């Protein structure tokens, strides 16, 4: 399967549609149907996590067997739940879906009958009963904003243009991961909206007679509002945090570092000659390029305290509390080299990009402002641009 700009444009449109869907069954139908179509899969399932104990089938589609169960189909699910834990209490890692849920990993199997890694007795029994042949699998976890597994998206039997079963192509995996991410946000949002409806009804009934319970319910409603507000801090093009989130968190981190006297390293990153990408390949290709660069940058910084965000246009910003000046240069160079080796494919065109980075480290002093470091780092960035781009320049170099 060839993934081009049209596929990413469709992905953007799907994300908008999923965000607008408020009915849980319709949302599940849409997620699985779009995933099957985009991956050209013959069958697929959506599981939902129940009490962190089991994966329960929520919807099942199988084109060859003409099966549609769960969701809005009106047909009950006939398949059993998958336990997430063994009788001993340990995680169930032998089943494909439960392993993906427990580990958070994307699992790709080219041919189940050739794989020895998983217990495939359930799938083989299904094949024996129905005459189906389960071969290729693509299994992705659906995770909420707190990294908790909401469910599993599993696709079966990718097909080529002649409708022959093949392994899932490697280039379809990032597309499915992006779809899974959008589906997770929509599913979490739907759950939160349902919770709000339930809480409001509960308040209407009990407001006159249970003031203490009313207080607790209001606290839960407030928590749901906070989570919904959290979802608005994601940049829609790159799926990383946006500038609003960065400025709020950086100011808080700066104040804390000023009180406790620990260092903060700041990186300001700009894609070189980005206008040329838009002018040559179009703005959709530019969006794909932004998303791939953002994903690569974000992959470097996984500490809970790290802040990675899109600063605006083709600029990204990274704040790293507790990172010393001696470490900052190595980090900046590693990010620069990783992007230099990155090739983005958009609409069939390979696009090579480089970045310029300004970076600096300070221990904030009392009454100092975060923008003081940001201003210096910005100057270092543009010094790097003036030196020919594809450079990482420290604020120390400004005085040289």
* Gap between the terminal Cα atoms of the chain: 52
Tell me: do 176 and 279 sit in the same domain. Answer: no
Least confident range from 201-205, 313-317, 367-371: namely 201-205
Do the Cβ atoms of 157 and 187 come closer than 8 Å?
A: no
Provide the pLDDT for residue 106: 93
Q: Is the pLDDT confidence value at 17 over 90?
A: no
Instruction: Report d(CA 307, CA 162) in Å as an integer.
Output: 47
Q: Is the pLDDT of residue 32 over 60?
A: yes
CA distance 355 to 335: 9
In a domain, 382, yes or no: yes
Q: Is the pLDDT of residue 4 over 60?
A: no
What average pLDDT does range 120-135 have in this prediction? 90
Residue 238, domain member (yes or no): no
Q: Does the residue 237 lie in any domain?
A: no
- Determine, yes or no, domain membership for 27: yes
Domain-embedded: residue 236 = no
- Residues 250, 226, single domain; the answer is no
Confidence of residue 227 (pLDDT cuts 50, 70, 90): low
Could you list the residue range(s) of the whole structural domain that residue 199 is in? 189-231
Q: What is the pLDDT of residue 169?
A: 92
For residue 136, give the nearest of 162, 112, 161 by alpha carbon: 112
Predicted confidence at residue 1, as pLDDT, reads 45
Are 35 and 143 found together in one domain? yes
For the segment 293-322, what is each residue's pLDDT rounded down to a tens digit? 999 999 989 888 999 999 999 999 999 999
Instruction: Examine the domain organization and report whether 68 and 159 are in the same domain.
Output: yes
State whether 365 and 319 are in the same domain. yes
pLDDT higher at 228 or 132: 132
Q: What is the pLDDT of residues 145-158, one digit of tens each?
A: 788 888 899 999 99
The answer to whether residue 295 is domain-embedded is: yes
Q: Verify that 169 and 24 share a domain, yes or no.
A: yes
Mean pLDDT computed over every residue of the chain: 86
Residues 235 and 312: beta-carbon distance below 8 Å: no
On whether both 199 and 149 belong to a single domain, the answer is no
Which residue do the tokens 């994903």 mark? 295
Confidence (pLDDT) at 200: 64
Higher per-residue pLDDT: 269 or 123? 269
Assigned token pair, 121: 């007795």
Q: What is the pLDDT of residue 211?
A: 62
Summarize pLDDT for 112-124 with one digit per residue, the tens: 999 888 988 888 9
Beta strands in the chain (DSSP E): 41-50, 54-62, 67-70, 82-83, 107-109, 137-143, 149-159, 165-166, 264-271, 307-312, 315-321, 343-346, 349-352, 355-362, 392-394
Average pLDDT over residues 38-56: 91
Whether the pTM exceeds 0.95: the reply is no
Q: What percent of the chain has pLDDT over 90?
A: 58
Judge if 25 and 43 occupy the same domain. Answer: yes
* Contacts made by residues 279-284, CB under 8 angstroms, sequence distance 24+: 281/346, 281/347, 281/349, 281/351, 282/5, 282/347, 284/5, 284/8, 284/9, 284/346, 284/347
Query: d(Cα 255, Cα 237) in Å, to the nearest integer?
Result: 30
Which segment of 178-182, 254-258, 283-287, 306-310 scores lowest on mean pLDDT?
A: 178-182
Domain with residue 395: its CATH number is 3.30.70.270
Q: Are residues 211 and 360 in the same domain?
A: no
What's the mean pLDDT in 98-105? 94
29 falls in which pLDDT band (50, 70, 90)? Answer: confident
Task: Give the CATH number for residue 145.
Answer: 3.30.450.40
- The total domain count for the chain is 3
How many secondary structure helices (H) and strands (E) does the chain include?
11, 15
Q: Is 105 within the bounds of a domain?
A: yes
pLDDT at 400 over 90: no
Q: What is the mean pLDDT of residues 325-341?
A: 94
């Amino acid at each position: 399967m060839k993934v081009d700009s049209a596929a990413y444009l469709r992905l953007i449109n799907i994300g908008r549609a999923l965000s607008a869907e408020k009915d849980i069954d319709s949302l599940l139908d849409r997620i699985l149907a779009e995933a099957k179509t985009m991956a050209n899969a013959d069958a697929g399932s959506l599981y939902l996590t129940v009490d962190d104990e089991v994966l329960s089938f929520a919807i099942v589609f199988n084109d060859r067997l003409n099966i549609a169960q769960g969701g809005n189909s009106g047909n009950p699910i006939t398949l059993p739940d998958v336990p997430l834990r063994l009788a001993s209490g340990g995680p169930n890692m032998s089943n494909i879906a439960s392993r993906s849920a427990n580990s958070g990993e994307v699992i790709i199997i080219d041919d189940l009958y050739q794989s020895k890694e998983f217990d495939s007795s359930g799938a083989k029994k299904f094949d024996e009963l129905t005459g189906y042949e389960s071969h290729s699998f693509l299994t992705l976890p659906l995770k909420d904003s707190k990294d908790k597994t909401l469910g599993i998206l599993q696709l079966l039997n990718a097909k080529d243009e002649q409708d022959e079963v093949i392994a899932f192509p490697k280039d379809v995996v990032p597309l499915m991961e992006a779809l899974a991410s959008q589906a997770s946000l929509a599913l979490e949002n739907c759950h939160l909206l349902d919770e709000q409806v339930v809480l409001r009804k509960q308040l209407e009934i009990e407001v006159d007679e249970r003031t203490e319970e009313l207080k607790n319910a209001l606290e839960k409603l407030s928590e749901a509002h906070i989570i919904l507000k959290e979802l608005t801090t994601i940049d829609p093009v790159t799926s990383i945090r946006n500038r609003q989130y960065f400025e709020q968190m950086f100011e808080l981190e700066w104040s804390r570092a000023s009180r406790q006297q620990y260092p903060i390293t700041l990186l300001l990153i700009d894609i070189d000659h980005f206008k040329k990408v838009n002018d040559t390949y179009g703005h959709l290709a530019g969006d794909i390029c932004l998303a791939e660069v953002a994903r690569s940058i974000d992959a470097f910084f996984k500490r809970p305290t790290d802040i990675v965000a899109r600063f605006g246009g083709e600029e990204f910003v990274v704040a790293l509390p507790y990172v010393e000046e001696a470490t900052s240069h190595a980090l900046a160079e590693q990010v620069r080299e990783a992007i230099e080796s990155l090739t983005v494919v958009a609409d069939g065109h390979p696009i090579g990009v480089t970045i310029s980075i300004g970076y600096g480290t300070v221990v904030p002093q009392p009454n100092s402002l975060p923008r003081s470091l940001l201003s210096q780092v910005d100057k270092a960035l543009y010094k790097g641009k003036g030196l020919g781009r594809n450079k990482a320049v420290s604020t120390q170099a400004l005085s040289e």
